[in-house]
A = this chain, B = another copy of it.
Amino acid sequence: MTSTMGYIWNTLYGWTDTGSGGLLPPSTDSLTQPIGHHVAHPDTKRRMHELISASGLIDSLKQIDAAPAAEADILRVHDQSHYDRILAESALPKGGDAGDGVSPFGHGGHRIAMLAAGGAIEAVRTVVEGQVSNAYALINPPGHHAERSTGRGFCTFNNGAVAAAYARDVLGLKRVAIVDWDVHHGNGAQDIFGGTAEVLNISVHQDRCFPSDSGFREERGHGEGFGYTLNVPLPPGGGSGAYEYAFDTVVLPAVRAYKPDLIIVASGFDASIMDPLARMMMRSEGFRSLVRKLVDLAAEVSQGRLVCLQEGGYSPIYVPFCGLAVIEEMAGVSTGTQDAYTPILGAMGGDKLLEHEREAIDLASVLVSDIH
């Protein structure tokens, strides 16, 4: 087994066509003026990749090519009708929408979505097969909001679920844990894997941010899957104090109890303190600390198998530094790059665990005991 970390990026991940609106489609009816950069514009991901390159970190990583996923890979977790609709709309001159009207993709968007799902599969495959020690797949479009029958929230196919199903069905793993630290609820995996204990889906997210009607602690899965969906909604405004506490008292104990063969991280950086689509206060060092816990956890429970899949993150200037910190930590490498924003962001507070945050997390920690 190698000790080198795997890394996936593909030029086409930076070519997603998020359209000419800012978040809503431009319209004279709603008086939403066009704008040159959508909140989910792929430049944010590309800029993260470029910092990985410009910092020299990329020289310490093993670059893995992403092959497109096969239709059969997608159909393990999505309906045929959803797949077919994406394929059909992808052939339209302006492309289509993943499902909720605010998730535009362009002509040929299907191809990029297949490449994102394929990147997730490759990351998981190379880790499980031992070609790399662990891996970060900087894929785009994201996936964690995509449900069995529809895309949502900028997500077309659920890359993480596709990779987890591949790990189970093709690579023969028995148990996969998904740790979703994207600031929004991991509703897609909850929808797809809610009825099975073969996947543990833990989502730590800002309470009611998106989707605003899911992600509550009371949603715990069903049937055989009861207890294997674990939601940890955090009050808006929290930072590393809340996240550390949530990881220490809920996420780590849950994964330890579950003993997965593989840990997949739904790695969004939209819990960052400069994100326009959420209100949390994480800095790059906070993310570094979280992934440190997961690296150690994976060493303990899953033979070190840890795969991060890129999800959200909407600050084009700050996401790169968050990503750099996480990948440095996973690779066990320091490029010496300073987070340029630390002098400004570091003093803004939010790092101390507040009482109402503790109470919210404690209510979730109770649920860990149902995981076996």
Contact = CB atoms under 8 A, between A and B. Distances in A.
A329 to B, nearest CB: 18
Contacts of A94: 19, 25, 94-95, 104
A20 B22 contact: no
A77 to B, nearest CB: 23
A359 to B, nearest CB: 11
A33 B15 contact: yes
Interface in A36-52: 36-37, 39, 43, 47, 50-51
A321 B64 CA distance: 27
Given A212-B347, A279-B236, A28 B53 contact: no
B31 A340 contact: yes
Interface string A127-160: 0000000000000000000000000000000000
20 contacts: A17-B20, A19-B20, A22-B317, A24-B317, A28-B111, A32-B340, A33-B47, A33-B51, A35-B43, A35-B47, A35-B317, A36-B37, A93-B101, A94-B104, A212-B348, A235-B237, A237-B279, A276-B315, A279-B281, A355-B356
Interface of A: 11-12, 14-20, 22-37, 39, 43, 47, 50-51, 53-55, 93-95, 97, 101-102, 104, 106-109, 111-112, 207-210, 212-213, 235-238, 273-277, 279-281, 315-317, 320, 337-338, 340-341, 344, 347-350, 354-356
